[in-house]
Amino acid sequence: MNMQKDCKQVWEKCLEFIRDNISDKKLFDTWFKPLEPLKLENDALTLRVPSMFFYEFIEANYIDILSAAIRKELGHNAQLLYSIAVDKGANSPAGNSVLPSNNITATQNFAQNIPVNLDAQAKDLPNPFVIPGIRKVQVSSQLNENYSFDNFVEGKCNQLARSAGYAVAQNPGKTSFNPLFIHGSVGLGKTHLLHAIGLETKKRFPEKTVLYVSAEQFFQQFVDSTKNNTRNDFLRFYQMMIDVLIIDDIQFFANKTGTQEVFFQIFNSLHAANKQLIITSDKSPADLSGLEQRVISRLKWGLSADLQMPDAQTRIQIIERKLFKDGITMPKDVIEYLAYNINSSVRELEGALISLIARSSIAKQEITLDLAKDMIDKFVKSNTKEISIEYIQKVVCDYFKIPVETMLSKTRKGEIVAARHISMFLSRKHTQSSLATIGNKCGNKDHATVLHACRSVQNSCETDKEFRMNLEAIEKRITE
């Protein structure tokens, strides 16, 4: 009696999961409601199906979601037995029988439905998703060897995402960072980090199949599979062959209902099998528009980590790393000028660096600060430059010959306080930043301190000629 009750309870929970993952209620009513739980023994659930046709159709079309549901309730060692109602006839046994179909034994082990090792499975139970010859397919990971962790400069702007990505590469599918969702504006290193995670995973787990695919490429594959009537093969490939799936720029799926539907199925299948998913977007899951709520909810299951624009010191490290890799030397003042003046994205920073090197090579000129200023002036004009708070701080500290770190410290020495106040005053004048942002970047001060600093500078300009001359000289360096 208790066994019967447990059996029904487990199946009811399975149905809840399946209902949540099938958008078409009619399909659910047609193919899952007629299934009846008969017994549950040692994590083996027996389901009664109305006919052989039912059994074959479910195995061909819904085994992924069925396996995910049962494994969710019973664990990775769950088994499924089909009890098929067989019509009475001259050559048929009466009543119900547990029968195999399509070379599949009646007992179906879900740890093998979504296998880690396909070759090992071949000796046991043939998999219903395996297309003839698919075991021989070698999947190209589509990873760029140049985008490794060794080439990824870590800073406060990307520390969480980088650390989480490295943890995932060490133990894919086994951490709480599944999916790992990385978001940030264009050109901040999302794609680089994705490739780095994939490469590190392949290095540590050569037997795992890692696939990097852009959302646009995934969409086109889905469209082609629909046109060619190979949608099942498309689904089986992603559900059966991939251990680590990396999708870049998922915002491209916005308002593409069919693509979201198939992605939803693949996500559920891989996640249920403890396969790793890594996804990027230009927005956080909560800010994505055009995606179904159930898709967004899945994206929130793991860890969401953002990438921000690197600070000046990190930008300097990025330039130095690239120069070292290419075997090029460049004066320190030129590197700093680039880092402090290109602050929109890492991609534009690298573009400016390449342009400067190319101009120097073509014109056969040495790379100097004057050459960099001339090039940057033209480069920035086409990129709507805004002077950064960091650049203002650098110019102010260079003028007074004090380290930026000292200016940002809590010291109350007169010359340090003056430099700090001037930095705040010029930041308010030459940037669009709020008082709170300026205060935060000038030693974690509040907005009231910034207002006080601005008033102090204004008063000193009116009463102290030398102070005013210094301020004008600094401002000229900033705007030249």
- State mean pLDDT over 385-390: 70
Q: What percent of the chain has pLDDT over 70?
A: 84
pLDDT in the model for residue 364: 78
* pLDDT for residue 260: 93
Mean pLDDT computed over 223-251: 89
- Mean pLDDT highest for which of 21-35, 80-94, 112-126, 426-440? 426-440
pLDDT at position 182 is 93
Lowest mean pLDDT among 35-49, 75-89, 406-420: 75-89
209-223, 316-330, 428-442: which is most confident: 209-223
> Which CATH number fits the domain 2-128, given the four candidates 3.30.300.180, 3.40.50.300, 3.40.190.10, 3.40.50.10320?
3.30.300.180
Tokens 């927005």 label which residue? 283
Among residues 273, 258, 336, 349, the alpha carbon closest in space to that of 310 is found at 349
Residue 424 confidence (pLDDT): 92
**Region 25-49 average pLDDT:** 83
Rounded to an integer, the average pLDDT of 61-68 is: 82
**pLDDT at residue 55 greater than cutoff 70:** yes
Q: Which of 48-52, 118-122, 145-149, 177-181 has the highest mean pLDDT?
A: 177-181
Most confident option among 82-91, 132-141, 163-172, 346-355? 163-172
pLDDT at residue 198, as a whole number: 94
Arithmetic mean of pLDDT, 296-324: 86
- The CATH number that domain 312-381 falls under is 1.10.8.60
With b meaning 16 or more CB within 10 Å and e meaning fewer, what string describes 22-53? beeeeebeebbeebebbebeebbbbbbbeeee
The domain covering 389-479 belongs, at the CATH homologous superfamily level, to DnaA protein, C-terminal DNA-binding domain (1.10.1750.10)
In the predicted model, is pLDDT for residue 302 greater than 80? Answer: yes
Q: How confident is the model at residue 189 (pLDDT cuts 50, 70, 90)?
A: confident
Averaged pLDDT for residues 96-106: 36
Average of per-residue pLDDT across 379-407: 76
- Residue 249 clears pLDDT 60, i.e. is over it: yes
DSSP per-residue codes, 380-446: HHTTT----HHHHHHHHHHHHT--HHHHTSS---HHHHHHHHHHHHHHHHHS---HHHHHHHTTS--
Query: Across 100-104, 163-167, 331-335, which has the greatest mean pLDDT?
Result: 163-167
Strand spans (E) along 63-154: 79-85, 96-97, 107-109
**CATH H superfamily, domain 149-306:** P-loop containing nucleotide triphosphate hydrolases (3.40.50.300)
- pLDDT top residue among 351 and 268: 268
Mean pLDDT over each residue of the chain, to the nearest integer: 79
Instruction: State mean pLDDT over 32-61.
Output: 80
Provide CATH 3.30.300.180 ranges for the chain: 2-128
**Mean pLDDT, to the nearest integer, of 147-163?**
86
pLDDT over 80 (residue 184): yes
CA torsion through residues 244, 185, 377, 475, sign? negative
Give the span between the Cα atoms of 4 and 267, in whole angstroms.
Answer: 32
Supply the pLDDT for residue 275: 93
Question: Which residues belong to CATH 3.40.50.300 in the chain?
Answer: 149-306
Average pLDDT for residues 354-375, to the nearest whole number?
Answer: 81
Once rounded to an integer, what is the mean pLDDT over residues 244-254?
A: 93
Question: What pLDDT score does 127 carry?
Answer: 35
Residue 421 predicted with pLDDT over 90 = yes
Residue 109 has pLDDT above 60, yes or no: no
pLDDT level of residue 212 (50, 70, 90 thresholds): very high
The percentage of the chain sitting over the pLDDT mark of 90, rounded to a whole number, equals 18
CATH 1.10.1750.10 maps onto the chain at 389-479
